[in-house]
Structure formats: structure tokens, C-alpha cells
Structure 1
Amino acid sequence: MPDVLVIGGGNAALCAALMAREAGASVQLLEASPREWRGGNSQHVRNLRCMHDAPQDVLVEAYTEEEFWQDLLKVTGGRTDEALARLVIRASATCRPWMRRHGVHFQPSLSGALHTARTNAFFMGGGKALVNAYYRSAERLGVQVRYDTPVDRLELQDGRFVAAWSGGQRFAARACVLACGGFESNRDWLREAWGTNARGEHPADNFLIRGTRFNTGTLLRFMMAAGADTIGDPTQAHMVAIDARAPLYDGGICTRIDCVSLGVVLNREAERFYDEGEDFWPKRYAIWGRLVAQQPGQVAWSVIDAKAVGRFMPPVFPGVRADSLPALARGLGLDEARFMHTLQAYNAACRPGSFDHTRLDDCRTEGLSPAKTHWARPIDTPPFFGYALRPGVTFTYLGLKVDHTAAVRFGGRPSPNLFVAGEMMAGNVLGQGYTAGVGMSIGTAFGRIAGTQAAAACGHAHPHLEQDHVAA
């Protein structure tokens, strides 16, 4: 029987397994997917948001704790636990040397990833390389890894973990870390959460899943039924506007449409519905999935002209191209008269300014609702392009409530040997909204805490923890 059982196979699970093993605990990791799809949503990530008080190798200038906190506070609208958020922020400053020891390499911010050179450390080779590096290190250290092993229930005794079950197989351990994601790939649960809207639609029927098909929320549902304390709104998620032609699962980051702030976004009625220039893309891109989810048919179109080309990360699939706006409307299948009315009104409302997509410039609209507050330039230079958008769910925020120890709680009482990390508890920090790279910050911080605490529950102390890694 191993000391620590880790359920899940992504970043948070691997951080937990590695930390527990470094502390001297024997560790077994159960991953639901086959080996070739291992890593959960982490196989699709690109970067980690990092606090730093001075330039650090791939990170320029400084990104202080307070600035990180204010960025998080802004996107969450205050729906966050400040103590846990600051724990994550501080941990983000100290984790990279440890990550490097386990084979993770970093590179400078990509040229098309605007505004992240100061705030985000990019993984060389992306999330797949990160996941593979962690698995290599885990296997070298003696972590037992089992693939194709989805856990469907736990044995619990007065809040204490006893064993996990995968079908008819029982896996006992002295402590356990749950790091098996949210419920974003469970269509029935999404339908239940989102219900039916005023138009009689089931919005969730039109959602695409950016990440893994294996995050079905089975253990989250089990834990809720078992009386574990929960946190979060089931309709809140990291939800991005992605290419409507993306696959149902595992489209990843390459399906994102990044030109939203450079043009206008129209719904099925060919009407604008939100300020496309509200803030920089890394801080605001994750609001657009939810906005599109609230539109008729859960579909929208991002429209740009030639002036925007080369200023954003190009999508994988080419957009609809036309040499005139009426032709573009026809190509997108939108009502031509309504489309032209919307575009003409927008163009007429644009006020001259000094366009600069690297700052919050003074190019705005006047007398238009909704306004476009920055980067507003007339869409008047052919060729014109349009991209159909759908909501792309990355991960859901409903999860298990924790404190700084990552312990699962039952009626406010922490379990002595059951811990949780990653997307399954991210709602403690993310009540709504998102900013680029913070999911990896949460998963890395709480994965390492959970692994350390699980090892300690078995009598193993970690030999070289960073001073601020686990709160006193």
C-alpha cells in the first residue's frame, strides 16, 4: 500500500506526486486517460503567471505581489479569497527553480502574446513538454503511474480517506490528493448548470470544450454527495470565445480567436453587445466565452479589416474574407442590411486618436452603445475578415473549499489525510473571470502544498521547502 495516492494526471496532480515523493513518501498516481492523452488540460497550457520584484531570466522588469493581486481582483470582481490568492501569488515567485529541477524549461514571451513578457513565464515546448518532463521525473523517482484508471468513488470514514475505487479495483493509501479537474466535459452537468434560457435554448448544447474529454466531475459529484464543503458557481468557468469550427474536445489554445479587441463582435442579429476595447487581451479575453454564451444561438462573429492583420496571434483556420462589407455579411450568413447598419454606426462613432495596441489608447467611440473605449478605428480597409465564435470551456469553477493546507473540509472540519489541488479547488481563488496563466499558478501552488501535506500526514517531512511555500 503506498503512502500517498494521487488521483489525476495534470499539472497539479504531478506537482503533488513529486512533492510527496521528494518528502520520502511512496506515491501512486491514477490517471483516467490513456498514456497518449495524459496530462488533462495541462497538456494545452503555455505559461505560468509569476510574481517577481526584479527582472528574472525570461521575465522582464517587475510584477509585484500587489499588482498581481489587483489584476486578479479586477477580473474576479472581488469573488476571491484574498488569503489564498496571496498564497498562490507568493508561491508563483518561488516555484520555477523547483520546476527546472524536474526538467521544465522556459522561454521568453512569444512575439504574438502581447503584454505577457513581464507577467508570464512561457514553457518551452508548451504544456505537453511540461507534462512529459514531470512524468519523466516522477517515474525516475519511483512514482507508480497507472493510466486508463478513472476513479469513480472513495471509501471515507469520518472525513478520513481509506481507499479509492476504479470499477472493481480498490486502491488503499494512507493519504490521498484529489487533482482530477472540474466537470467541463460532462455535457449533462453543463446542461443542468446552465438550464434553459429565455429563448428556450439549452446554451450548454453549443459549448465546445477546449481541454480534455476526461474531466467529467465524477469525483467532484461524489465528494459533494459525501458532504464535503464546496465553493463556486456551477455556471462560472474559464470560458473563452474560440473558433466555431474547433473540435468538441482538446482544441486547446490554438482555437482561440485573438482579434476581438481590434475590431467589432456581432451576434446572430448582426448587433454589437459589449465593449471590445475594455482592457488588454490577457486580462479580458476570458470574458468573451461567457458573453457569447449569453447571445442567441451561443454564436458571434469577430469582424476586422486589413489594418488589424499582423497585430494578433493568427488563428489556425482562415477566416471568411471579402473585399467589401456587404460581401462579408453574405459570407458570414448575417442579415446584410442589419450588418451594414451596425458597421456604419460604429465607423461613424469612431473618434480620431493615437492608435497603440500596446497601451490603453485614446481611440474610442462617441455616442455609441455599447461604446468601444480603446483601439476603436473604422472598419473600412479591405480585405475584410470575419471569424465565427463559440464558447470554449477550459475548466469549471465549482469545487471543494480549502484553506492554506489544501485539506478537504467536511462541515468546516479539515480531513486529516484527504487533500485537493488544481481545478477541483480553483474556485477558492477564481469566483469568476480569468487572467492569463493564473490557472497554472493555482495548480502549481496547491499541487505542491497538497503533496507536502499528504506526505506529512504519513509522517514524512519535506527536506527543502521554500520558506513561503506552505503557510504556517
Structure 2
Amino acid sequence: MVDVLIVGGGNAALCAALMAREAGASVLMLEASPKDWRGGNSQHTRNLRCMHDAPQDVLVEAYPEEEYWQDLLKVTGGETNEPLARLVIRASSNCRDWMRRHGVRFQPPLSGALHVARTNAFFMGGGKALVNAYYRSAEALGVKVRYETPVTEMLLDGDRFVGVVTEAGERITAKACVLAAGGFESNREWLREAWGRNDRGEWPADNFLIRGTRFNQGVLLKAMMKAGADMIGDPSQGHCVAIDARAPLYDGGICTRIDCVSLGVVVNREGERFYDEGEDFWPKRYAIWGRLVAQQPDQIAYSIIDRKVVGRFMPPVFPGVVADSLPELAAKLELPVETFMETLDGYNAACQPGTFNHTVLDDCMTEGVAPAKTHWAQKIDTAPFYAYALRPGITFTYLSLKVDDTAAVRFADKPSPNLFVAGEMMAGNVLGKGYTAGVGMSIGTAFGRIAGTGAAAAARAAHTIGRH
């Protein structure tokens, strides 16, 4: 019997496996995907949001605990567990040396591109390189990894973990377990159930694209719900981004994001604006736009910019629709030209004089138009004009297992003695709604390490009990 079983294969699972192994436990990881697709959503990440009180290696200036907390408070609208959030924030300040010991390398962010040189540490080679580094380190330390081994059933004795059953019917037991198998964002039926029908009779989830792995079906979340584990979070909440409508159904990752939203206007299928595009810096507000687009007819919208802002944002992978006039652009997009022009003319007339600066919260705003645009409001009047179609791109879901600072799964508000959880399966404790860049990796790293340490200790305790 193995000491610690890890179910999952992404960042949180790997952090748990490494910590458990470092603590002396024998460790087996079960990853649902083939080896080539290992790593879950972590393979698509780029950075980790890090608290720091002074300049550190790849991070400039300072990003103190209170500012990090206020950023998180703002995007979640207060729907967060403050003690657990602060645990994550503090853990983000001192994990990088441990990560480096396991082969992760960091690089400075692209200066001026995303306003995150102060707040986020970027992985050299992105999330795929991080995942590969952790797997190399895990295997060198003796962690056993089995791919293409989805778990379909949990074996429990009350609140105590006994084992799992795999899709092939194999029973695997262990002294302790860490669940880190992701959310249910790839389960279309569950998404439909969570989002329901809108007042137009549409099923919004039918038009969602999945930014990450196709293997996150939520099987273990369902199993734990059925077993009576304490849950937290709204199943319709998640990290949902407005991405290129031409993105693939799965695994589009970071390169499908459209980053020019804050520099222009966004209209729906009816040619109307529906939200303040300049509310805040893009890394702080980009994650609200998937949900906003999901609420529009046909779950589609269009980001409209002109030549003046080209070069001021990360260019999309696919070229936009281009036209020499706004009416021509509307026609190419098959939008109602008259309504579209009323929207653009009204917006342009509302733009007030100011000093445009996309690197700060500038004084360029609108007056007398709804919705207002509170920063970076410039007239869209310089040909050529560009448009990018947007769809909701769901990254991960926030329905979670409820935890405390031990990462133990809870039953009737009591912690399991040997079953722990990390990553997306518990992120809803910190993220009730909303998102800010890099915080998912902060949560997975912090709780993965806590869960791995806890599982190793539980396995030692079981061994001691067994000897007596």
C-alpha cells in the first residue's frame, strides 16, 4: 500500500506530491490524461501572483499583503474567506526558492505589456515548462506516476479515505490522499445545469469554449458531493474570460485571449455597448468579461478598436476583421449598421479631452453616455478599424470542497483525518467570484504544499497506529 495517493496531475497535485515525498512518504500520482497532455490547466498558465515587501529577483518595487488582499477583495466582491486568502497571499511571498529547487525558472515579464511586472512572477517557458520541471523532479525523487488513469469512485469509511476505483475497475488503496483533479469546466451537461436557460430561452453554456484541459469533468467533485463532503461556492461561478470566438473548443490557453477590450469599445450582436470597458487595468478586470459576454444574445460580442491603439496590447494570434470605415466594419461583422453607428457616434461624442496613457488609470473618460467609459476613452475615428469576435472562455469552475488552513476535506464541519484537497477543487474558498491574474497558481501552490505535508503526516500517523 502506498503512503500518499495524489489524484490529479497539475500544479497543485505536483506540489502536493513533491512535499509528501520530501516528508518521506511513498507517493503515487494518478493523472487522467495521456502523458503528452499532462498538467491540467497548469500547462496553460504563465505566472504566479506574489506578495513582496521590496524588490525581489524578477519582481520590481513592492506588492504588500494589504494591497494584494484589496485586489482580491475587489474582484471577488467580498466573496472570499479572508483567513484562507491571506494564507495564500503570505505563502506566495516565500515559495519561489522551493519552486526553483524543483527546476522552475522565472523570467522578467514583458515590460509595459500587462502592468504585472510588480505583482506577478513569470515562468520561463510558461506553465508547460513548470509542469515538466515538477514531473522531472518528482520522478527523480521516486514519485510514481500513472497516466491515462481516471478515477471514477472514492472509497470512504465515514470521513476516512480508504481508496479509489479507476475507470478500468482497479481498486487502489493508500494511507492518505490528496484530491487535485480540477473542476467541471469540461463537462458540458454540468455547465448547462449550472447556468440554466436565460430569458431568451438560450442555454448560454452551449456557446462556451474551454480554455483549458478536456479532462476536467468534475467526476470527483460529484463523488465527494454524493459522499456528503462539505461544499462551498456557486456552480455558475468560475474563471470565465472573453476569448477569441475562433479559438478551439479545448486547450486554447492564454493565446486565445483578446487584450484590447480596455482600449476600445465592446458591442453585442445588436450593435450596442453593455459595460464600462475602462473600469480598471486589464489584468484586474479581464476575467469579468467572459461572464458579461455570456449574458449577451448568442453569447457573442465584438471588441472594436482603431489604428491609434495598435501596438499597445498583446496582439491576438488570429488577425482581426479590418475595414476602412466603421459602417463597412459593421457590415463585415453582420451587425445592424444603423444601431452600430448610433453606438459609435454616441460614444465618440461623449469622449472628453484628456491625456491618454494606457499604462496608468488616465483621465480620458466619457460624459453623457451609458455605460460610461471611465479610463482610456478615445474617439474611434482613425482608419483602419479592427474588430475581434469574443466568446466566453471558461478556465475553471469555483464549486469547491470546503477547507480550513489544513487543506483537509470536511464532513459535517469536521476535518477528515487523511483526505486532503488542493487546487481548483478548493479554489472557491478563496474565489467566490471574479479573478485576478496569477492567483489560481498562488492558491494551487499554497494549498498543494499544505495538502502534501498534511497527507504525509496522516500516513505516518496511520503507520504508527498500525505498528501498535
2:235 matched to which residue of 1?
234
Counterparts of 1:300-315 in structure 2 under 5 Å?
300-315=301-316
Query: Cα distance, 1:460 vs. partner?
Result: 7.7
Cα drift, residue 309 of structure 1? 0.1
Q: Which residue is 1:381 aligned to?
A: 382
Matches within 5 A, 1:288-303: 288-303=289-304
The 2-side partners of 1:151 and 1:72 are apart by 33
Q: Secondary structure at the match of 2:2?
A: coil
By how many angstroms is 1:103 displaced?
0.1
Q: Given that residues 25 and 460 in structure 1 are in contact (C-alpha distance below 8 angstroms), is that contact kept between their aligned partners in structure 2? A: no
Q: Structure 2: how far apart are the matches of 1:362 and 1:315?
A: 27
Q: Does residue 181 of structure 1 match 2:154?
A: no
Q: Is the 8 A contact 1:329 1:335 kept in 2?
A: yes
Give me the whole-angstrom Cα distance separating, in 1, the residues matched to 2:363 and 2:306.
20
Match of 2:69 in 1: 69
Q: C-alpha separation between the residues in 2 aligned to 1:459 and 1:122?
A: 36
Match of 1:325 in 2: 326
CA RMSD in angstroms, aligned pairs only: 0.9
Mapped partners of 2:411, 2:334: distance in 1: 52
Read off the aligned partner of 1:402 and give its amino acid letter: V
In 2: Cα distance, 1:177 partner to 1:110 partner? 35
Q: Distance in 2 between matches of 1:241 and 1:110?
A: 22
1:287-436 to 2 correspondence within 5 Å?
287-436=288-437
Which digits, 9 at most, give the CA deviation of each residue in 1:184-211, with x for residues without a partner? 0000000000111100000000000000
Deviation digits for residues 358-411 of structure 1 (CA, Å, limit 9, x no counterpart): 111110000000000000000000000000000000000001000000000000
C-alpha separation in 1, matches of 2:110 and 2:193: 39
In 1, Cα distance between the equivalents of 2:113 and 2:65?
22
Q: Following the alignment from structure 1 to structure 2, what is the Cα–Cα distance between the partners of residues 100 and 428?
A: 28
TM-score (norm 2): 0.98
C-alpha distance 31-40 of structure 1, shift in aligned 2 (>3 A): same
Does structure 1 residue 452 correspond to structure 2 residue 460? no
Which residue pairs with 1:273 in the alignment? Answer: 274
How far does residue 458 in structure 1 lie from its aligned partner after superposition? Answer: 1.4
Preserved CA contact (<8 Å) 2:210 2:249: yes
1:43 matched residue in structure 2: 43
Looking at structure 1, the residues matched to 314 and 461 of structure 2 have their Cα atoms a distance apart, in angstroms, of 46
Whole-angstrom CA distance in 1 between matches of 2:461 and 2:202:
53
Q: d(CA) in 2 for partners of 1:316 and 1:91?
A: 34
Deviation at residue 112 of structure 1 after TM alignment: 6.0
Structure 1 CA distance for aligned equivalents of residues 361 and 135 of structure 2: 42
How far off its partner does 1:333 sit?
1.1
Give the equivalent residue in structure 2 for 1:213. Answer: 214
Q: Which position in structure 2 is the counterpart of 1:144?
A: 144
- 2:26 paired residue number: 26
Cα offsets for 1:117-137 (capped at 9, x unmatched): 000000000000000000000
Query: Using the alignment, how far apart are the partners of 2:403 and 2:329 within structure 1?
Result: 50
Q: How far off its partner does 1:329 sit?
A: 0.5
Query: Helix, strand or coil for the counterpart of 1:80?
Result: coil
- Partners of 1:109 and 1:23 lie apart in 2 by 33
- Structure 1 Cα separation of the partners of residues 123 and 211 of structure 2: 19
Distance in 2 between residues matched to 1:79 and 1:149, nearest whole Å? 35
Equivalent position of 1:105 in the other structure? 105
What secondary structure is seen at the aligned counterpart in 2 of 1:291?
helix
Deviation at 1:113, TM superposition (A): 3.4
Residue 469 of structure 1 is matched in structure 2 by none
Tell me the secondary structure at the aligned position of residue 152 of structure 1. Answer: strand
The 8 Å contact of residues 176 and 418 in structure 1, kept in 2 or not, is answered as: yes
Q: 2:153, 2:164 within 8 Å by CA — same for their partners in 1?
A: yes
Partner residue of 1:223? Answer: 224
8 Å contact kept, 2:113–2:312: no
1:194 alignment counterpart: 195
Partner letter of residue 418 of structure 1?
L
CA distance in 1, matches of 2:15, 2:433: 25
Does the 8 Å contact 2:232/2:400 carry over to 1?
A: yes
The equivalent of 2:465 in structure 1 is: none
CA offsets 1:430-465 (integer angstroms, 9 cap, x no match): 00000000000000000000000000101289xxxx
Structure 2 runs not aligned, ≥5 long: 463-468
Equivalent AA in structure 2 for residue 226 of structure 1: A
Q: Distance in 2 between matches of 1:446 and 1:460?
A: 21
Query: Given that residues 177 and 421 in structure 1 are in contact (C-alpha distance below 8 angstroms), is that contact kept between their aligned partners in structure 2?
Result: yes
Shift of 1:111: 3.6
Contact 1:303 1:386 in 2 (8 A): yes
Q: Which amino acid aligns with 1:127?
A: G
Q: Percent identity?
A: 79
Q: Which residue of 1 aligns with 2:128?
A: 128
Q: Distance in 2 between matches of 1:341 and 1:125?
A: 45
Secondary structure in 2 matching 1:219: helix
CA distance in structure 2 between the partners assigned to 1:279 and 1:220 by the alignment: 34
The letter for the 2-side match of 1:22 is E
Aligned residues: 461
| Residues 156-212 of structure 1: CA deviation (Å, up to 9, x unaligned) | 001100001103111100000000000000000000001111000000000000000
- Paired AA for residue 215 in structure 2: F
Deviation digits for residues 124-153 of structure 1 (CA, Å, limit 9, x no counterpart):
000000000000000000000000000011
> Structure 2 counterpart of 1:30, which letter?
L
State the shift of 1:110 in Å. Answer: 1.8
The answer to whether the Cα contact below 8 Å between 2:51 and 2:89 also exists between their aligned partners in 1 is yes
How far apart in 1 are the matches of 2:441 and 2:114? 19
Q: Could you say which residue in structure 2 is the equivalent of 1:155? A: 155
**What CA distance in whole angstroms lies between the structure 2 residues aligned with 1:225 and 1:460?**
27
How far, CA to CA, are the matches of 2:229 and 2:461 in structure 1?
26
**TM-score (ref. length: structure 1):** 0.97
SS of residue matched to 2:192: helix
Q: Counterparts of 1:60 and 1:94 in 2: how far apart (Å)?
A: 16
Q: Is the 8 A contact 1:229 1:400 kept in 2?
A: yes
Verify the 8 A CA contact 1:65 1:89 in the aligned structure 2: yes
Q: CA deviation at 1:114?
A: 1.8
